[in-house]
Structure 1
Amino acid sequence: MPADLSAGVTAGVAADSTMADVDVIRVSGGARLAGEVHVVGAKNSALKLMAVALLAPGRSVITNVPRITDIAIMGEVLRRLGCEVSFGEDNGTSTGTIDGIPVVGVGDGVPAEVPPVDGAGPVRDVATTPSGEAQAAVDLGAAPGRARTVTIDVPAEPGTDADYDLVRRLRASICVLGPLLARRGYVRVAHPGGDAIGSRGLDMHVSGLARMGAEISGSHGFVIASAPNGLHGATIWLDFPSVGATENLVMAAVLAKGTTEIDNAAREPEIVDICAMLSAMGARIEGAGTSTIRIEGVSELRPVRHRTVGDRIVAGTWAFAAAMTQGDVTVTGASPGFLEIALDKVISAGGLVETRTDAFRVRMDRRPRAVDVVTLPFPGFATDLLPMAIGMASVSEGASLITENIFDGRFMFVNEMARLGADIKTDGHHAVVRGRERLSSAPVRATDIRAGAGLVIAGLCADGVTEISHVHHVDRGYPDFVADLRALGVEVERTTAPAEQAFTL
């Protein structure tokens, strides 16, 4: 650098630094997981069921809802669309207080921050985060237990604009597009955000709705759709069995004139759950859970009470955790039938698996054997379980080939695994993982929901104490994660630590 320019920088600009605390989990390695853990409703279903409620004026009640930050955000999305939303314990409570903590609905103002359930991260209030970003109001309650009931009172004419500041933080909130277009004939929704693990465009949502008669445009970061004469039935072929596109198109089609057929539809259990609620509301749907869904439109739907299906991804996380730590864990609240391929991988690795209707037990009495994994749409191996599969491969005997076919950024967390001593080489959509007997503790950073959980589980197989930062990602998918780990015999704590310094000129 020239001398005079260097001097100018030194003399004329003051370096400043800012720091803010971040949530961290510290986990001691060497624990063998043992005991029982209960899984509540699936996040990926509950969020969409809340959007389903928009299709019928009146009060709908959804039970077995997980107490996680994404649910709080979705509740605020619906409030800003004019709905009254309140949360209560999963015994039907939806107003008043829970153990002295007020359960708020629309119009109650901004509540004080609710202390978290032991082991859970806080869900912060509007405009209280260090960065000043708008946050969803805390109204999930703080009573013991992770399942909640959400009561949604939908007005005769819900709003048509979904706020940017919330939608950008929760990709799932794009699912209000279909219901609002069907109900109101117009909708303006901010382009979604969420985990940055792939491009995940909206092309199939848009093209499918266009075939049903919608006019769709984009402007200043918003998706704008209109159908002033209503939607009509159509035959729609999806290039890929997209879960989000299937959900939006089904929700739009139930109030369309005529019959809609969606070919190459997603087959996930969460799709079946959404269709079950819609059918109870009066929709006419055939083929949910198959690659062809047929919907005969009706003129109106009625509000209902519906229980959320158990979370297969959280259940699968515990299955791999048991296998990695040579543990013995019983998982209740989720159907093992939705995890057939994942549990088969655990069996191939040397585990013993016992199943019941809504529970299963995983036992591993040896170091896992290496197994290959290929992610595919359901009923294939779930992409959300890939970080756990990589974790198991990292401590297995032999080499595993892991192939990711769904999200092009799913391997972003591999560098963090390498900090723990994992031997992983990636090439495009493939990763070769050579197992070693033990990992080594290190500070690592969660990059998304599943990667965060995977890093915590990997820390169980490391020597010493592993610190995982930015675990607010984990809060978006795992209620009471730390409390569950403790119950299974893990020495673990959740605390805060200073973030990296951010230097500015």
Structure 2
Amino acid sequence: MAKLVVHKSPPLRGSIRISGSKNAVLPILAASLLAEGKSIIGDVPNLKDVVIMQHLLQHLGVTIKWSKAKSEIELITDHITEYEAPYDLVSQMRASFLIMGPLLARIGKAKIPLPGGCAIGSRPVDLHLKGFSALGAEITQQNGYVEAYADKLKGSKIYLDFPSVGATENIMMAAVYAEGTTIIENAAVEPEIVDLANYLNKMGADIRGAGTDSIKINGVEKLTGTTHCVIPDRIEAGTFMIAGAITRGEVFLENVVSDHLKPIIAKLKECNIDVSETEKGIKVCGRNNIKAVDIKTLPYPGFPTDMQAPFMSLLSVAEGTSMVIETVFENRFMHVGELKRMGAQIKIESRSAIIDGVKKLTGTQVKATDLRAGAALILCALVADETTEISDIYHIERGYSEMEKKLAALGARIEKIK
């Protein structure tokens, strides 16, 4: 099994280009199932999750060419030959469930295993199914599979009990071919929702209100392939911002959208980190006295749950006591035990973590328990005395494209050992 070996590193310095968004490209690839013809998706990150989605779409009959050198995927979706997703693929990645809406809309049926992914807490698909049922689909669940069938979907008004990103995306995709108008209320407002809507509209959909809590979809008869470039990954950007801050370095991030990073920028500034925004990107300058802050994760535009673990690494070496409250996932403190092995002082009380900043962390053998936990361990390892070995790095590679190479280019002492 591959692992990362990280030595205490000097302050990181230099420029880094942020990849296309993992959480945007996966639903966009799923949405390609809705169209006939050829679509070209640009700025596609080289991630394990994208590989899984590629294999899943190919299983369904999509012809795919992926130029990793160009970060571009070409999809030909004239013929969908299968409606059942294989368990071995869906069990590896939760976003696989996003093919259900497009399949239901395009060919009227779908059969998908209950999804897997990082074990960060309960993420039921009941809101997805509630939306499909409201559109007129018949839903059955048995033997670990969900099956949906509909002769013709019909527009409806759907209220989400929680602004779920996945449910918003899946219902929005299902509704593009529904007869009449669909309105999703209490919809998620994340930038990735807007990017998906922009892609669908380029293909010929009629979607209004993406980025607000009320999305209106007028059903259309046909979608055709198009060309689209994925938005930058705000979570990768936030992680590299913290890498610059925790090492007291000076890092410039290219290919970022500052508006998507407002809560991260605000909290970094509270920590006494110098963050400046320009037309070309964002510059982060670390300081010796990192200050403690309190954080509460919330749906966008609040502080993102995906940044909770990486930010906790920074707070572990801050001056004073911080509190992190996790409101989105109930099991997203699995990284705490690994950080404590490195000398972090953290106490868990229900959904709150109390972090007493320490002056020194020490490298040891740790494992990535999930995607963002793995990033948190790398960040601590950059400033820990001695050497850190991180195992189970397949979690990290699900969401960060060649992270060790990007960090090494900034001066980090990090290498991947196979």
TM-score for both structures, normalised by structure 1: 0.82
Q: How many residues align?
A: 418
Report the secondary structure of 2:44's partner residue: strand
Give 1:95-244 correspondences, 5 Å limit: 148-228=71-151, 230-244=152-166
1:265-414 correspondence to structure 2 within 5 Å: 265-357=187-279, 359-414=281-336
Q: How much identity, in percent, do the aligned residues show?
A: 42
Q: Note if contact 1:335-1:358 (Cα within 8 Å) is conserved in structure 2.
A: no
Deviations 1:43-79 (A, max 9, x none): 1111111111100111111010001111111000001
1:452 paired residue among 351, 369, 374: 374
2:61 touches 2:79 (CA, 8 Å); kept in 1?
no
1:413-432 per-residue CA deviation (whole Å, 9 max, x = no partner) reads 10000000000000111000
1:440 to 362, 383, 394: 362
> Is the aligned partner of 1:493 residue 2:410?
no
Letter in 2 for 1:395: V
| Residue matched to 2:61 | 82
SS of alignment partner, residue 65 of structure 1: coil
Report the equivalent of 1:28: 7
**1:123-175 deviations in Å (ceiling 9; x for gaps):** xxxxxxxxxxxxxxxxxxxxxxxxx1111111344421111110111110100
Pairing of 1:412-427 with structure 2 (within 5 A)? 412-427=334-349
Residue 222 of structure 2: SS of its match in structure 1?
A: coil
SS at match of 2:293: coil
Structure 1, unaligned runs of 5 or more: 1-21, 92-147, 497-505
Q: Identify the residue that residue 33 of structure 2 maps to in structure 1.
A: 54
Find the aligned partners of 2:53 and 2:68 in 1 and give their Cα distance: 18
The superposition leaves residues 236-286 of structure 1 with CA deviations (integer Å, 9 ceiling, x where unpaired) of 111111000000000001110010110110111110000000011111111
For 1:482 and 1:156, locate their aligned partners in 2 and report how far apart those are by CA, in whole Å: 39
Displacement over 4 Å in runs of 4+:
none
TM-score relative to the length of structure 2: 0.98
Question: What's the offset of the Cα at 1:365?
Answer: 2.3
Consecutive unaligned residues in structure 2, runs of 5 or more: none
Provide the C-alpha distance between the structure 2 equivalents of 1:441 and 1:75, rounded to a whole number of angstroms: 37
Quote the offset at 1:356 in angstroms.
2.5
Q: Who wins on radius of gyration, i.e. which is larger?
A: 1
CA distance in 1, matches of 2:126, 2:403: 35
Q: In 1, distance between residues paired with 2:282 and 2:81?
A: 42
CA contact (8 A) 1:423 1:434 kept: yes
Separation (CA, whole Å) in 1 of partners of 2:274 and 2:335: 29
**Residues 245, 448 of structure 1: CA spacing in aligned structure 2 closer, same or farther, 3 A cutoff?**
same
Tell me how far apart the structure 2 counterparts of residues 180 and 89 of structure 1 sit (CA, whole Å): 27
Whether the aligned pair in 2 keeps the contact of 1:63 and 1:90 (CA below 8 Å) is no
Q: In 2, Cα distance between the equivalents of 1:274 and 1:345? A: 28
Aligned residue number for residue 94 of structure 1 = none
Equivalents in 1 of 2:80, 2:417: separation in Å?
44
Residue type of the partner of 1:400?
S
On the 8 A contact 1:367/1:395 being kept in 2, the answer is no
In 2: Cα distance, 1:274 partner to 1:157 partner: 21
Say whether 1:255 aligns with 2:188: no
- RMSD across aligned positions (CA): 1.0
Q: Secondary structure at the match of 2:287?
A: coil
